[in-house]
Amino acid sequence: MRPIKALFCIAFMLFTASLLPAQAPTVQDCLGAIPICQPVYTENQVLPGGGNYPNEVNSFISCLDGEDYSIWYTFTVHESGDFGFVLTPNNSLDDYDWALFNITNADCDDIYNNSSLLVSCNAAGGTAFNPNACSGPTGATGASSYDIQGAGCFSNPPGFSDGFSPFNDLIPVTAGNTYVLMVSNWSASTSGYSIDFGISDVNIFDFEAPELDELNLPSSCNDNSITFTFSENVDCSTISEANFTLTGPGGESYSIALASTICDAGGEYHDAFTLSVSPALVDSGMYTLEVISEAPSPVTDVCGNPLASSSHPFLLNSPGLPSVDLGADQGICNGQSVQLDATSPQATYLWQNGSTSPTLAATSSGTYAVTVTNACGQASDAVEISLLSGAPVVALGADTALCNGTQLVLDATAEEAAYLWQDGSTSPTYTVASAGSYAVTVTNACGEDTGELTITYTAPLSVSLDQEYNACEGDEVTLDVSNPSAAYLWQDGSTNPNFLVKEGGAYAVTVTNDCQTLTASTVVNFIELPVASLGDDVALCEGETLALDVTQNGASYLWQDGSSSSTIMVTASGAYSVTVLNACGEAEDAIQATYIPRIGDIDLGEARYLCSGRVVFDVNAHDFASYRWQDGNNQPRYEASRPGLYVVEVYSDCETVVDSVTLFECEFCNVYIPNAFSPNDDGRNDLFLPQPACEMMDYEFLVFDRWGNQLFASNNPREGWDGRSKGKTLPAGVYAWALSYTVEANGQMEKRSTMGDIVLVR
C-alpha cells in the first residue's frame, strides 16, 4: 500500500513551483505530452522527477500518488468508441501507475484542481504480503470492470485507495474530445516499457491536418498584434515568421515577429501563437494576412500532417494619423488677412492662441502653430506670417553677351513673393545657359512687377590642324585657322590666319578672341618616292629562310602572294616580287630564290668479297652535288677491280655525306682426297682420310666395297679408314667412297658433296 503524501508537503510544493520561472515543458509534463500518431510506442528509459511542471496530478482527487518517473501522452478522438491500451514494462517486476484525463474544455493546469477531468485511473501494485502482485503489465484492456483502482492489490471492490487488478475496463471516448494519459513508475525504475494503443478499434491516431481554429485580427487604429490558435498542437520547429506575410492598403508590407510561450521556452509543440506587427496599423483600408504552408517546409502538426495555406483579408476602419499643412511662410500687406486651415477627419485642434477651431485667420505678423489630434495620434505644423513693405521691384540688368560655357544667374528675389519665368519655372532665381530672351513676373500680396533681357553667346573658337600632314617632295601645304574676330600668332611670329609650308617640320599657332585662347600644332612631312630593292637571285639550303624587307615610312606593299606586310619570309623556291606604294608613287622589284635539295643517304653497301670481275659503285645524287673518291676520282660512278677500302664524299654548298666499304680478296677452300693408301701399320699412309684446307661442317665420309656394301662411316673430319671392316682386315683392291660437307667461303656457307675410288695396297 502506498503512503499518501501530507497536505502540507503538497501545498509546499505548489508554493515552490509558483515561484519558478516558466520553463520548456518535457514529456514528463502535460504540456509536453507525446501526441499519439501510431499504435505502439517504445520508451527505452524513463527519468526520475516530474519534469519542469512537477505538480500536475493531485493525490487527493485521483488514485495516483504524484507523477514521479512520468511520461504523458495525448490524443484527440476522431471516432467515438471504447479506448484501450496495454503497457508492458521492460522489467517484469516494475509497477506502473496511470491516469486518463479529459481536457476537451480545460487546460493542463486544470487537472490538479478539477476532479471531473479524471476519466480512468489505476494505481494497483504489490502488497506487503506479495510485492509482485499486480506488478508488470497494466492498462485499460477490459480485463476488469473497474475504471478507478487505487493502491495495493486484490481489494474488492476497489476504490481510490484500494486496487483489485492492474487492468481497467475499456474507456468510452467521444469524437472531438481531447485526452491526456499520465504514466508513472512507482518502482522508481528507469528501465522503460512499451505501450500499445492499438488494442481497441476507436480512431485516436492523428491523420487530420491542423486548422486555424481562432484568428483575432486587428480592428482599430494602432493595433499591432494578431493572435491565433490551431485546432491542435503544431510542431514548433516547422513554424516561423517566414510562414506569414501582412500587406496593407497600397501593397505596403509589414514586419512580423512570431511568439509562443511554449515554443519560445524550448518546447516542441504548441497551439497558441501571437504575431507582433511593426509598425502598428493606422491607415484605414483592406489588409491581408497570408498564411504560407507549402512544400518543402510546411507547418505541420506533431504527427507530420501539413497545414493548408490560407488568405485572411480584413478591413481596418481608422481615421489614420492626422495630417496638417499650413503652407509656406508668407507675407501680407497692412489690412489684409490669410486663412490658415488644419482640417482633418475626426480630429481636435489646438492653436498657439488656445483656439480649437480647424481654421484660424492670421491678421498680423508672427508664428502661427497648430496641433491636430485624433484616435491614431497627433501632428503639428507652424507657419511664419510677416507684414510686407510693398509691391516687389524687378531689376534683371541690361542685355549682355556671354562666353561659351558661361552661365549667368538672374535673381528676382523679393519679399514673400511668387515668381513666374518665361518657361513657367517659379524659383526666385534663373540660371541662363543658352542665348535667348528671359522674362519674369514677381507677385506678392501687395502687387507685382516684371523684368526682361536678352542674352547672346560669343561663338567658340575652332582651330583645326591635323596632327600630321604628308605631302610629296616639291608640293606646298597651306595651314588655315581662320575664325571670326580672332587674332593669330604663328611660331615664326607671323599673324595671318593662313600659313604656307614648303619644308617639312613642326608648326604651331595661337588663336585668341574675347572669350578664348586656343593653341594648336602639327607636323608636315614631305614624302620621297618609294624604293623597292630585293637584291640578287639567291640559292638557299633546306631549312634556311631569308627575310626580304622593303620597309619605308608611309608606304604600302603588295607581294606576289597578295600579302601586304613590309617584309616577307622566303621558305620555298620560286619567284618573289613586290610593289611598294606611297602617296607619291610606286616601285617594283623581283628576285628568284632556289632551294638546294638534300643529298640524302649514300650507301656503298656492306663489305663483301671480290671473287669475279669487278664492282661498280653509283652514288649519283642530283645536279647540285660534287663527288670525291679515295683516289681523287670526282665521278659519281666508280669501278672497283681489286680488294681494298673504298671511300666517297658527296657534297654540295649545303652539306657533305660520306660512306665507305671494304672489298675482301676472294676465299677458296679445296679438299685433297688421296687415290691410294697402305694400311700396314708402318706409320706412313696407314689411313684413308680427306685433307681439307679449311674447316668442314656437317661432315659425312662413307666407304663401300665394289658390291655397294658400306664398310666405313664417320662424321668426324679427323677420323680416317684403316682398311678394316667389323674388325677384319680387308684385301687389297679398289673401293668406292662418298663425301659431303659444308664450308664457309667469302662470307657464305657452301654445301658440297663428291665421290670417287681409293686403291688399298697391301
pLDDT at 3 over 80: no
Report the DSSP pairing between strands 608-610 and 656-665.
Answer: parallel
C-alpha cell, 328: 509656406
Cell 491542435 appears where? 232
Question: Model confidence over 378-424: pLDDT tens digits?
Answer: 899 999 988 888 888 999 889 888 888 889 999 989 888 899 999 99
Q: Please check whether residue 705 is in contact with residue 760, taking contact to mean a CB–CB distance below 8 angstroms.
A: no
Q: If you classify domain 330-387 with CATH, what class do you get?
A: mainly beta
Q: What is 212-316's CATH number?
A: 2.60.40.1220
pLDDT of residue 131: 63
* Placement of cell 472531438 in the chain: 176
The three-state secondary structure class of 18 is: helix
Binned at pLDDT 50, 70 and 90, residue 11 comes out as very low
Fold of the 671-760 domain: Immunoglobulin-like (2.60.40)
Q: Which long-range contacts (CB under 8 A, 24 or more apart) does 209-213 make?
A: 209/301, 209/305, 209/306, 209/307, 209/308, 210/234, 210/299, 210/300, 210/301, 210/305, 210/307, 211/307, 211/308, 212/291, 212/307, 212/310, 213/271
State yes or no: pLDDT of 315 exceeds 80.
Answer: yes
- Over residues 552-570, the pLDDT tens digits come to 887 899 999 999 999 999 9
Closest of 626, 549, 600, 537 to residue 573, by C-alpha: 537
**Contact assessment for residue 440 and residue 451, using Cβ atoms and an 8 Å cutoff:** yes
> Rounded distance, CA 82 to CA 171, Å?
5
Mean pLDDT of 87-105: 94
- DSSP 3-state of 291: strand
Q: Residue 77 in 3-state DSSP? A: coil
pLDDT score at 272:
92
pLDDT score for 293: 95
Identity of the highest mean pLDDT range in 83-87, 538-542, 755-759: 83-87
Q: Which residues of 11-20 are buried (b: 16+ CB within 10 A; e: fewer)?
A: eeeeeeeeee
pLDDT for position 127: 61
CATH number of 7-196: 2.60.120.380
pLDDT of 468 over the 90 cut = no
Q: What percent of the chain has pLDDT over 70?
A: 96
Q: What percentage of residues in the chain have a pLDDT greater than 90?
A: 49
User: Is the pLDDT score of 43 beyond 70?
Assistant: yes
Q: Which sequence spans correspond to the domains of the chain?
A: 7-196, 212-316, 330-387, 400-457, 468-527, 538-596, 608-665, 671-760
Task: Convert the pLDDT of each residue in 658-705 to its tens digit.
Answer: 989 888 887 777 888 999 899 988 888 989 999 888 888 999 999 999
Whether residue 506 is predicted with pLDDT greater than 50 in this model: the reply is yes
For the cut 70, the answer to whether the pLDDT of residue 16 exceeds it is no
Check if the beta carbon of residue 535 is closer than 8 Å to that of residue 591.
Answer: yes
**Model pLDDT, residue 129:** 57
The pLDDT value given to residue 19: 34
Confidence of residue 9 (pLDDT cuts 50, 70, 90): very low
- DSSP reduced 3-state for 144: coil
Do the beta carbons of residue 441 and residue 396 sit within 8 Å? Answer: no
Residue 187 grid coordinates: 518502482
Mean of the pLDDT values across residues 100-119? 95
Q: Pairing between strand 429-432 and 408-411? A: antiparallel
Superfamily of domain 538-596: Immunoglobulins (2.60.40.10)
**pLDDT score at 230:** 92
Residue 20 has pLDDT above 80, yes or no: no
Question: Across residues 267-287, what is the average pLDDT?
Answer: 90
| Mean pLDDT, range 220-232, rounded to an integer | 90
Across 244-253, 370-379, 394-403, 608-617, least confident range: 608-617
> Who has greater pLDDT, 275 or 328?
275
Amino acid identity, residue 729? Answer: T
Q: Is CATH 2.60.40.10 what the domain over 468-527 is classified as, yes or no?
A: yes
**C-alpha cell of residue 180:** 491526456
Rounded average pLDDT over 258-284: 90
Number of helices (H), then strands (E), belonging to the chain: the values are 2, 59
Q: What angle do CA 433, 438, 442 make, to 5 degrees?
A: 120
Mean per-residue pLDDT, 91-107: 94
Answer whether residue 6 shows pLDDT above 50.
no
* 22 band by pLDDT with thresholds 50, 70 and 90: low
Instruction: Name every residue whose Cβ is closer than 8 Å to that of residue 193 and which is 6 or more positions away in sequence.
Output: 42, 43, 46, 87, 88, 89, 90, 94, 96, 183
- Determine the pLDDT at residue 363: 87
pLDDT at 12 > cutoff 80: no
Compute the distance between CA of residue 201 and CA of residue 81 in angstroms, rounded to an integer.
Answer: 7
| Same fold flag, 212-316 and 330-387 | yes
Question: Going along 186-261, which residue ranges are E strands?
Answer: 193-196, 212-216, 223-235, 244-247, 255-259
Please provide the average confidence, as pLDDT, over all residues in the chain: 88
Average pLDDT, stretch 320-329? Answer: 87
Q: Are 228 and 265 in contact (CB under 8 A)?
A: no
Helix (H, G, I), strand (E, B) or coil at 733: strand
Whether the pLDDT of residue 13 is over 80: the answer is: no
What is the pLDDT at residue 316? Answer: 87
Element housing 263 (H / E): helix 261-264
The whole model's pTM is what? Answer: 0.45
**pLDDT(437) > 90:** yes
- pLDDT over 80 (residue 342): yes
